[in-house]
Structures are given as structure tokens and as C-alpha cells.
Amino acid sequence: PAPALAPAARLLLAGLLCGGGVWATRVNKHKPWLEPTYHGIVTENDNAVLLDPPLIALDKDAPLRFAGEICGFKIHGQNVPFDAVVVDKSTGEGVIRSKEKLDCELQKDYSFTIQAYDCGKGPDGTNVKKSHKATVHIQVNDVNEYAPVFKEKSYKATVIEGRQYDSILRVEAMDADCSPQFSQICSYEIITPDVPFTVDKDGYIKNTEKLNYGKEHQYKLTVTAYDCGKKRATEDVLVKISVKPTCAPGWQGWNNRIEYEPGTGALAVFPNIHLETCDEPVASVQATVELETSHIGKGCDRDTYSEKSLHRLCVCDEEWHHYVLNVEFPSVTLYVDGTSHEPFSVTEDYPLHPSKIETQLVVGACWQEFSGVENDNETEPVTVASAGGDLHMTQYFRGNLAGLTLRSGKLADKKVIDCLYTCKEGLDLQVPEDSGRGVQIQAHPSRLVLTLEGEDIGELDKAMQHISYLNSRQFPTPGIRRLKITSTIKCFNEATCISVPPVDGYVMVLQPEEPKISLSGVHHFARAASEFESSEGVFLFPELRIISTITREVEPEGDGAEDPTVQESLVSEEVVHDLDTCEVTVEGEELNHEQESLEVDMARLQQKGIEVSSSELGMTFTGVDTMASYEEVLHLLRYRNWHARSLLDRKFKLICSELNGRYISNEFKVEVNVIHTANPVEHANHMAAQPQFVHPEHRSFVDLSGHNLANPHPFAVVPSTATVVIVVCVSFLVFMIILGVFRIRAAHQRTMRDQDTGKENEMDWDDSALTITVNPMETYEDQHSSEEEEEEEEEEESEDGEEEDDITSAESESSEEEEGEQGDPQNATRQQQLEWDDSTLSY
């Protein structure tokens, strides 16, 4: 048995047990401890958070294992992108890290709470104690990832020349970074060199010197921006600064040259014009628009034909004027160019006392005292000693009047006078109902002057924009029509306060499409000589046709207008207009009025109002009339020749023109041949007679006998003299060639016979005992037959020449006679060579 414990041992064991119980009760007695607040900073491109103070949890149970150690941190909050990690359990050190990439632009800072907890009583982690909740504030540091961007794509401003500006305009850029350092724009810079502008750090642009409109109308600047991180804008901005000249009152928005295409109707001459008053208060504005056409015809494009090309203007101011006298006894009203006119001086005209002098109507003359000298050009009136003395008409008007109309018992209305003086061209003003309110408009009867007056400048501008130029002529006179605007501006004190300079421009009337006048008909025909000798003669242009066409360019329709490969097409259109001249001229010899003439129906000409003049060269028709009238007149033009037997043909040429030769037709030529009917008896005698005894006049009839005139057609064509000459020359040339060939062949045959004779002499037979008899007729017949064949060939070709012309035939016959005379001696020689040797014959 174990011995009983000693009292001391028992006391020690009790003490140990008691001490062990006390240690057991003190394990993990304290909670971890954290700072109440933490502040952290984290960069966008990093996940480690730098905390102040550092994250350290303390536990008073240290250095006990487990109870004095920190096993972890816990973060409280929703969607907190951070977590806390223990770095050292014994010291309680930890770190906070981001779980994902942070974006300062989305969220700049975060706040949450954190707790630390120890390891408990043992490895099993029981009886874990937690610290209090500490607050953590984390700020996300920005990274300069965004460049500055300008708010506007471009900037515009307008400055007035000669001024120095503190600020013209401001450019402004923005940066998407979140921090003040990187999101603020610290500077701007003008990239364009050598410009008189500068920009400050806030983006304000100003000029460094006074600008001049004459030097530069507009400046274009390129500006960039930098943020405080020195990052430059990815795209620079364009700044346009326009320089406006110093404000000067006047009309603006008009063109110096306005082109007018004939046939297009009315053309607005000031479609964008407006009056600049430089913000001055204006009470009323009066504007006068004047079209200058004094250099065109009778003061304007009124007539087709220029009077200055027909007459010399030498009266008064060397201009044409239109006068109207309305006589309502005893008052007389004078209208000059459609406007009533008060003469500066009126010559005294005494009434006629009862006398035997008949009533006279004069232009420009008056009844004055007879000075004893007949001088119609007398201009100074003679003082009348006693009324009713020895007086007479003097101071006559000597010149040309464009026309004179007397309307007895009637007075011309003012509208009628205006209509008479109206030009074919002028200014027109058609103001819509919603425009030009309160504007007073006055138009001159000539339509060359318009006066507009109004208080509202805007309404006056609208009315001015509707002024148009109109030329109603088919073929207007091309050239310049000058335009002028004179203005008067009144302020509220009824004084002229603003001076507006006049506007000088011009309307260029383009060349109209030129008409092509075409003459067509029968160019060649023949008539019997009896028709030429008849009283009616021969109509030269029985089927004449006169037309006029204009070629226009037609643009392609639809999408073809935008396609550069599509070309404009030309279209010919027939137009109707007047003619003023048609000239018929004879070609070759001039007209011999003793035996030929051109005649026309004078009664028909008087009805048409066409004048005619004739000369040795032909006939000229003048007068403004339609193409149809000229056709009708020319259809009746006749040619007579009362000695047609000596005539083969006659040629004429016709040319028509319009506008004093401005448009000329083609040359229409007509050739008329005379058909001669020959007498059969005379024809036989001429053929039998020798050519040298034939009269030249009759020889022409012999020439014509070569044609088929046994039953002549009235419209048969007879060859001209040139054709006959050509045929004669060709026939003579052919005859000479044949004659030369014939002679060459004859000479060649004689040479061959001589050679054959020589050979025979070299090879002579010993004919001492031989007698050879040759039949001479056989050789002669062979030679004679060959000569006849050659002569037949010659005769056949000579007969061909006879068919072309009898003269060639006659020459051929005479040549053959000469050839025959030359051939007779040759035949005689041949016969002598072929005589019989009858010395050995016995009879």
C-alpha cells in the first residue's frame, strides 16, 4: 500500500492544483484592438492600399499562443472592392488590397469598417474574440490617362479692322481625368506661326496688333491645349477670325457684272442686295435705279435696226427723241420721251389774216417776216414791224423723222404715249404682296429709270431685290447696258445724315444664238429659147424655199447631268423671223439691158412694202418683211432675153440677209440653159458644107446637133461651152496618138522588109540553070489587106471621135486625106517593085 502522503506533499499538490486552475481561467481574456480610423490611398493602376496608420491589431493576451495572435481581418460593407490580409499573426500586422481594377473616374474614394479577430483558445479556433469596428477611408489616386478635348469642333469670330481687342473669343478644353492635377487645363498654345494673335492660360485669344482688311480678310489659327500633367490634346482646334472693314454706309451684296442670255425672260439684277447704314438711325431712304442704253439704237433696244447705221444724228443733243403734241385749242401740251415738257423758248407765231394762202402743215417752221433772202436755215427770227405784213414760212426742219402720225379731232392718252415710247428692253419690278410694304415706286415711261422710296430699310431691300432686266427682242443687240444706283438717306431731323456712294454695274447681254438662213430649190434647169424671148420670160426661183434654224445645246436629263462622260446634245430648231435684204447677182458677164433684163411684179412689191433696185450686176430687194413674203416675191422674179439664139446658159446667185447683214444666208446658185431647136434643112446643109465655110453662129447649132434634139424634152439639159471645149481637146489628143502609132508601125514594117532583103542576098541560089516565077498579086494582096486592117482601126477610132464632136471628125477626115496623099507614092513604088519580068516569056 502506498504510503500515506506527508502533509507537506499534500500541501504542494493542492497548491499546484490551485495554481493550475488560475492559469486556466486567464487564457484569451482580451479582445484585439485596432485604431478607430484609417486613411488609405490607392492608385488606379495598383491594388496595394497605403494606410495611415498602418493596419496593426494588438491583443493583450500576447504572448500567449493563439489567444495573443491575430488570425484575420473582416471588412464590413456592401460592394467593397477590397479585402484585408494578415501579414504577421504574432505582431497583428495586415494589409488591405483591391480585389479588382479601380477607376477614379467612376469612384474617387471608398469608406468601410474593418474588424480584427484573434485565434481563440487553441488550434480549434474556439472562443475567438473580435475587436471593435474601425473605419477605413480609401482615396483612389488618379492616373493621367485622358488628353484634353475641346468643347467645339471649330471657333469663329469677326473683328473690325483697326481695333485692338482685349479678348476676341475664348477656346475651352476639358479633361476626363478625375484628379484636379490631371483634369485641369493648365495652358493653351497657338500652333500657327507668324500670326498677330496670342492666347492666355484660360483660352482667351486677342490680337497683338491692329488688323487691316486690305492685308488679310480672314485668319485661320490652329490652337492646342495641355493639362496640368503636360498631356497635349489629341486633336487641335481650328479658329477662324474674319476681318471686317470699317463700317461704311452703302449698298452691299451686288455683282458688278450680270450676264443676260437672250430669250430667258426677266433676270433679277440685285437678288442679294441690302443697304448698310452702320446702325445709324434712318428716317427714309430714296433709291433710283437707272439703266443706260443710249448707245443702243434709238436710245434703247427698241428697234431691230440701228438708226445710227442709217442716219447721222446731228440735231439737238445727237440723240433720238419721241415728241407728242396734244393740241386742245388754245392750249398745247408737249411730251418729250413720254414726259410732259415745257419748252425753254417759244417763237412768236402771229395768226394768219384772211388771205388766199392755203392752209399749210409744217414741221419745225413758223410764219415770220420775209427778209428778202430765201434762207430756210435761218434760225434767228426777224422782228415783225407790223402784224400781217409781208411774212412767209421759215426755219424749216430738215432731217429724218422716224414716223409722223396725225390724229385729227382726238387727243392722245398718257398711257398711249407711254406705250409708244416703250422700249423692247428695260427694268421691271414685280413685288410680291408680302414684300415691299410701305415702299413707293415710280417708273419712267421708258422703263429705264425706277425710283423707290421707303422708311423701312428691310422692306426697301426686298423691293430692290425684285428689280429685273427684261429684253423682249428675238435677237437683242449684244453688249453692255450700264446700271447705276443713286441713293439719298434722311435722318429724323430731315437732314441728309449719311452719304451712300453710287453703285455702278452693268448687264452684259450675251450673243444670241445665231440663226442659219438656208436657201434651197432647183439649182439647174433648161428652157426653150422661145420662153426666154416671150413677154413673161423665165422664172428664176420657181421652187425657192427660205428657212431659218437655230442650233441649241440641250443638257442631259436626270443623272446624266452629273456624269462627266455624258455630253450635251445639239438640237436644231426652226425659227421665224424677218429678212431685210435679198440680192440677186448675175455671174459672168454683166447684164446687157439692150437684150436681157430681170423683171418683177411691182404691184406685188408695193403691197409687201419691199423696195427693189436694179443694175447691170443684178437686182436688190430691201425692206423688213417676213421670209414668206420674200419667198413670194422671189418666186415671181423673171429673166428675159430677146436674143436667146446667141445664148447657151446664164448663171445667177441669190443671197438673203437679216439685221443689216448681221445674219447672211448661204449662196444659192442657179444655172439656166437655153434649148435651141434646129431646122432639119439647115442642119443638112451645115453637115454638107465644109467646116471653114460654116458661120460661127451656125456652128453652135451644129454642136447642139450632137445631142438628141429630134424630139427635145422641154427640160433637157444642154452641155455648157466648157464641156464642148473639153470634148474637142480630148478627141484631138486621141487622134494624134493613133496617128503616131500608125506611122511608127509603118516605119517598122519597112525596116523589117529591108532586113529580109539583105538576108536573101547573102543566101543567093545558084540559079544559072533555074527559073523561078513568082505571083506578084499574092504578095500585093497580103500587104494591101494588112494596110486595110490598120486603116479600119483608125477609121473606127475616128468615128468614136465624131460621136463626141463633129469638129474632131472634120479634122480626122482632113488628116486621112493627107495620109492618103502620102500613101499614093508608096503604093506606086510597091507596084513598080512587083512588075512582071516578061523578058523570058513568049507570047
671 pLDDT higher than 90? yes
Helix (H) / strand (E) containing 414? helix 414-421
How many CA atoms within 13 Å lie on the side-chain side of 403?
Answer: 7
Q: Cβ contacts of residue 319 below 8 Å, gap of 6+? A: 294, 299, 313
DSSP three-state, residue 782: helix
| Averaged pLDDT, 299-327 | 64
45 pLDDT higher than 70? yes
Q: How many CB atoms lie within 10 A of CB 159?
A: 20
- Which amino acid, 37? T
Q: List the grid coordinates of 678.
A: 434646129
**Residue 471 binned pLDDT confidence (cut-offs 50, 70, 90):** confident
Choice among 108-122, 422-436, 716-730 with the minimum mean pLDDT: 716-730
Backbone angles phi, psi at 527, to 5 degrees: -135, 155
**Residue 745 binned pLDDT confidence (cut-offs 50, 70, 90):** confident
Find out whether 66 and 28 touch, Cβ atoms under 8 Å: yes
pLDDT of residue 540: 92
Q: How far is the C-alpha of 569 from the C-alpha of 555, rounded, in Å?
A: 7
**Residue 286 binned pLDDT confidence (cut-offs 50, 70, 90):** very high
Q: What is the dihedral of CA 129, 131, 137, 139, to 10 degrees?
A: -40
| Averaged pLDDT, 3-29 | 46
451 pLDDT higher than 60? yes
Find out whether 286 and 451 touch, Cβ atoms under 8 Å: yes
DSSP three-state, residue 728: helix
Q: How many CB atoms lie within 10 A of CB 439?
A: 21
pLDDT digits (tens, 9 = 90+) for 649-662: 899 999 999 888 88
Cα Rg for the chain, rounded, in angstroms? 63
Strand ranges for 267-318 from DSSP E: 267-268, 274-276, 284-292
The CATH classification of domain 251-299+424-509, taken from the options 3.30.750.80, 2.40.110.10, 2.60.40.680, 1.25.40.80: 2.60.40.680
CB burial of 349-377 (b: ≥16 within 10 Å; e: otherwise) equals eeeeeeeeeeeeeeeebbbbbeeeeeeee
* Secondary structure string (H, E, C) spanning 47-112: CECEEECCEECECCCCCCCCCCCEEEEEEECCCCCEEEEEEECCCCEEEEEECCCCCCCCCCEEEE
Q: Cβ contacts of residue 602 below 8 Å, gap of 6+? A: 612
Q: How many CB atoms lie within 10 A of CB 600?
A: 18
**Residue 763 binned pLDDT confidence (cut-offs 50, 70, 90):** very low
**Residue 494 binned pLDDT confidence (cut-offs 50, 70, 90):** low
Top pLDDT among 134 and 562 is at 134
427 pLDDT higher than 80? yes
Top pLDDT among 544 and 317 is at 544
794 pLDDT higher than 60? no
Choice among 103-107, 415-419, 593-597 with the minimum mean pLDDT: 415-419
Top pLDDT among 608 and 841 is at 608
pLDDT of residue 323: 82
| Averaged pLDDT, 771-781 | 46
| Averaged pLDDT, 435-458 | 85
> If you write DSSP's letter for every residue of 654-683 in order, what string do you get?
EEEEETTTTEE---EEEEEEEEP---HHHH
48 pLDDT higher than 50? yes
pLDDT of residue 268: 92
The angle at the Cα of 259, spanning 256 to 261, to the nearest 5 degrees, equals 165
pLDDT digits (tens, 9 = 90+) for 63-98: 787 778 888 899 998 888 998 988 888 888 999 988
Find out whether 156 and 242 touch, Cβ atoms under 8 Å: yes
Q: What is the DSSP letter of 321?
A: -
Asked, as a colleague might, if the bond just before 193 is cis with ω within 30 of 0, I would say no
Percent of the chain residues topping a pLDDT of 90? 25
Q: How far is the C-alpha of 287 from the C-alpha of 465, rounded, in Å?
A: 12
Q: How far is the C-alpha of 455 from the C-alpha of 282, rounded, in Å?
A: 8
43 pLDDT higher than 70? yes
| Averaged pLDDT, 725-738 | 89
Q: List the grid coordinates of 562.
A: 452629273
Choice among 119-128, 576-585, 716-725, 780-789 with the minimum mean pLDDT: 780-789
Q: Which of 198-207, 360-369, 682-691 has the highest mean pLDDT?
A: 198-207
pLDDT of residue 485: 93
Helix (H) / strand (E) containing 723? helix 721-762
pLDDT of residue 6: 46
pLDDT of residue 464: 92
Asked, as a colleague might, if the bond just before 53 is cis with ω within 30 of 0, I would say yes
Do the first three CATH levels of 27-141 and 251-299+424-509 match, i.e. the same topology? yes
Top pLDDT among 801 and 456 is at 456
Find out whether 621 and 610 touch, Cβ atoms under 8 Å: yes
Helix (H) / strand (E) containing 197? strand 197-199
Helix (H) / strand (E) containing 331? strand 331-336
Backbone angles phi, psi at 679, to 5 degrees: -80, 130
Q: How far is the C-alpha of 211 from the C-alpha of 214, rounded, in Å?
A: 9
| Averaged pLDDT, 252-268 | 90
Pairing outcome for strands 611-615 and 618-626: antiparallel
pLDDT of residue 517: 92
pLDDT of residue 792: 47
Asked, as a colleague might, if the bond just before 502 is cis with ω within 30 of 0, I would say no
| Averaged pLDDT, 591-595 | 88
Q: List the grid coordinates of 111.
A: 469608406
Q: To which CATH superfamily is domain 27-141 assigned? A: Cadherins (2.60.40.60)
**Residue 697 binned pLDDT confidence (cut-offs 50, 70, 90):** very low
- Which amino acid, 266? A
The dotted CATH code for 149-244 is: 2.60.40.60
Backbone angles phi, psi at 305, to 5 degrees: -110, 135
DSSP three-state, residue 803: helix
The domains of the chain are located at 27-141, 149-244, 251-299+424-509, 516-555+568-675
| Averaged pLDDT, 680-694 | 38
pLDDT of residue 630: 93
Percent of the chain residues topping a pLDDT of 70? 69
Q: Cβ contacts of residue 208 below 8 Å, gap of 6+? A: 196, 197, 198
pLDDT of residue 602: 85
**Residue 423 binned pLDDT confidence (cut-offs 50, 70, 90):** confident
Q: What is the dihedral of CA 583, 587, 589, 594, to 10 degrees?
A: -40
